[in-house]
Amino acid sequence: MNTTLSSALSASGLPASLAGLPFAKGHGTGNDFVLVADPDGGREVTPAEVAAVCDRHRGIGADGFIRAVRSEHLPEGQALLQTDPAAEWFMDYRNADGSISEMCGNGVRVFVHFLLAEGLVNLAEGETLTIGTRAGIKTITRVDSGYAVDMGPWEFIYPDHAAAKAMDAVVNADGLEVPRPGLSVSMGNPHTVVALAELSELAATQLTAPPTVQPEPENGTNVEFVVPAEPLVENGVGLLTMRVHERGVGETLSCGTGACAAAVAIRFWAGRDAPNDWAVTVPGGVVGVRFLTAEDGREHVELSGPAVIVARGTLL
């Protein structure tokens, strides 16, 4: 091995700068993450380090990397503390390729579960915790099924087009016979939702390569392909099945913000009689999505589902 290269790598093949770093591995409905506790903000990670750890063949393997740091130690966190001093902890989230992401709905649940497991917070069932993210302050409630996250208000990325045409983009992916209309939704991060008619069509869609989206939001977009159930509503709950290609990651078993965006789009297309409660089936399980009017008077989206820590270790 080249001596310069060997000096930069640990015995495991990961960057030597990561040697000795304690970590946990967790997931929410199959959307998996490597988590590290850095309360005092002294262990910043580089994009290359994140990508190496998240590599499924040479690293631990994950859809994303989460660093738990007190908000006071990050500029973004300090700004949020001015709004809500209760947001002691900040979820520093990175995609698997090392790029920074605003938000991850499954990741938030796993992040709070990790804080509890580390003894960094206490949260009894029914109690609520406030945390900081790059998509703003989020509140999480511990519930029977895991955690429920107030994801905040949703928005159309191109509201004029959405209002006029009920679509604002054209999306193509391998396996689709023709390009499809899409609707672009912001859940603090960007999504483009495409409705398909049949589960067989959803299964045939190839998501190894990123779908093409025209126009594409400035910072890229996550793309959800969704099949509404027939009938759409059972016992007052809307039913959807979804697959997703996440920017900077690829196809994942689940995407929390994507499930919210999918419910937003299908509910909008279904009209004013559509329900406020939704069950979204993803390859990794089922998450709940609920629409509610918050104290600020805006319509918020709540995401609920499980969170699991599956392993702990120390990078070599």
Question: Which sequence positions are flagged as catalytic?
Answer: 104, 255
* Bridge pairing between strands 22-28 and 31-37: antiparallel
Q: CA torsion 184→187→189→193, rounded to 10°? A: -30
Helix, strand or coil, per DSSP, at residue 180: strand
Give the pair of three-digit tokens for residue 43: 């262990």
Residue at token pair 């915790």: 129
Q: Which residues of 199-209 are buried (b: 16+ CB within 10 A; e: fewer)?
A: eeebeebebee
Give the pair of three-digit tokens for residue 10: 């640990």
Other beta carbons within 10 angstroms of residue 54's beta carbon come to 23
User: If you count DSSP H runs as helices and E runs as strands, how many of each does the chain have, helices first?
Assistant: 7, 19
CA distance 292 to 142: 18
Burial, 61: exposed, middle or buried (Cβ in 10 Å; 0-12, 13-18, 19+)?
A: middle
Helix H or strand E segment including 91: strand 89-95
Q: CA torsion 125→127→132→137, rounded to 10°? A: 120
Find the radius of gyration of the CA atoms of the chain: 20
If we measure between CA atoms, which residue out of 172, 188, 162, 300 comes closest to residue 255? Answer: 188
Other beta carbons within 10 angstroms of residue 253's beta carbon come to 18
CA distance 242 to 281: 6
